[in-house]
A and B are shown apart, each in its own frame.
Chain A
């Protein structure tokens, strides 16, 4: 069986650089994909 994906928070991210992780969080902001036409 594959190794499970570690579930992390912000402070644990540094231990898993370059790896796939699971991160649960509350969305605070989403970048706007649409720009107002001139």
Chain B
């Protein structure tokens, strides 16, 4: 069973001689009438396909500075997920009860709008290690 890019589950009939060795795989396959597929060949794409580690690192760094510059704007909630950062939810409306948004569900445009003020503030403070932040954000 494979989860496709749209989240749908697809049953793949594997060739017995071929082994699946990675979590993400591209199959070249024949589509059966019952919408299962029969593997013709497959290519392993590794275990981290689609995850953007540098981007995530930048977001975490920015989040860290957001906490430094605007304490109280972040609150810890929903500690689900394997990463500590997943438990960080953002209070977007100024009111802690307005809404909480998992930051990893945000697109880049929304993130940049959200992160600009605290980053600008961080850059203006000599006491903060702004050089590290600039580097990590590619500024």
Which residues from chain A sit less than 8 Å from chain B, CB to CB? 5, 8-11, 13-14, 16-31, 33
Contact = CB atoms under 8 A, between A and B. Distances in A.
Interface of B: 1-10, 12, 14, 16, 20, 22-33, 35, 37, 40, 45, 49
A30 B31 contact: no
Q: Is the interface of A mostly helix, strand, loop or mixed?
A: mixed
Contacts of B29: 20-23
B5 A24 contact: yes
A23 B22 CA distance: 15
A5 B26 CA distance: 12
A18 B29 CA distance: 10
